Amino acid sequence: MILTLTLNPSIDLTYHLAEDAVGEVDVHRTTASTVEASGKGVNVSRDLRAGGVATTAILPLGGATGRHVADLLLADGVDYQGVPVESETRINTSILLPSGRTLKVNGPGSPLSPADLSRVLGCVEEALAGLADAGAGADSGALADSGAVVDRWLVIAGSLPPGLDADIVAQLIGLAHSYGVPVAVDVSGPALRAALSAGADLLAPNEIELAELLGGAKLEDAEAVAAAARSLATEHDVAFVVSMGKRGAVYVDRDLALHGAGPELVPVNTAGAGDAFLAGWLAAPGQPADRMARALAWGRSACLCPTTVDSAPGSRGTTGIHVRKLA
């Protein structure tokens, strides 16, 4: 079972334009549009559910948009625990251009009151306790819907609501570890630094976010990304899986460094591709090289899907994926 926590969820509106650029006219008319429940952790749960993996999404929900998110998750068959909060759930917008470019406009979200945050933390702790009880004495984890064995994880992903201190990420990592549940984190900025210091088991930044951890270091290729991640992995005893866009991805722990990539493709929609990549990595236990190949398949397939979440993870763009060991 994989729990995901999205502290700043959203409705994701996606618009397809016929024009190759925006701003050249005052009004753009879309050729198609979709509405989805979203936020990075929500996307991970939706990807996992589509892949037949047991998952529960935990998220605060407020107002009319929050009710809409709940309806959309229910329609998708995603198990979720929505925590009622005072503020309205935000709306994000993606604009897809024929050239393969994706433009994102994300709402900031609304602050969580102390009472809201307390309810969210209580929900997370209750879910972790249930996960620990279910997995007691079973190192292999829980069963997916398909019957395949999967890991137990808490995934903390996405932006924080305005005003919420990054230390909440460290607090959540400590809470999960107290129940023996490993934590994967996909956040940025101060929250990513807090996750590193708190001993998250797996960090999933992109190459830009990794460079920011190191004071803006220039990372020109996979070897440079791996070397940068290795320095942090060794110091903090964590693992990194670093997405690099069209250049693939790098995995690093204290003992191993891998680079995975595939042939260049023209994306349809890059929104959600990183979430699909992380979901693919977590979808089943196995050696890092096997996880990397599956994660790349899920991420590349998501790039070729017109929606934020791919309904058939790993079904497109998988030819030519390769994984190599780095020195």
Nearest Cα neighbor of 43 from 297, 261, 315, 313 is 313
| Cβ-contact 35, 72 below 8 angstroms | yes
Distances (CA, A) of 27 to 17, 22, 85, 96, 263: 11, 9, 36, 15, 36
Q: What is the CATH number of domain 2-325?
A: 3.40.1190.20
In this prediction, residue 136 carries a pLDDT of 61
In this prediction, residue 26 carries a pLDDT of 78
This prediction has a pTM of 0.93
In this prediction, residue 295 carries a pLDDT of 98
| Cβ-contact 47, 14 below 8 angstroms | no
Catalytic hit among 12, 151, 186, 275: 275
What are the domain boundaries of the chain?
A: 2-325
Q: What is the mean pLDDT of each run of 10 residues along the chain (327 residues)?
A: 97 92 80 95 98 97 97 97 96 92 92 97 97 66 43 95 97 97 97 97 96 86 94 94 95 96 94 96 96 98 95 95 95
Q: Is 186 a catalytic residue?
A: no
Which amino acid belongs to residue 279? A
For the four alpha carbons of 308, 109, 29 and 24, in that order, the dihedral sign comes to: negative
| Cβ-contact 191, 183 below 8 angstroms | no
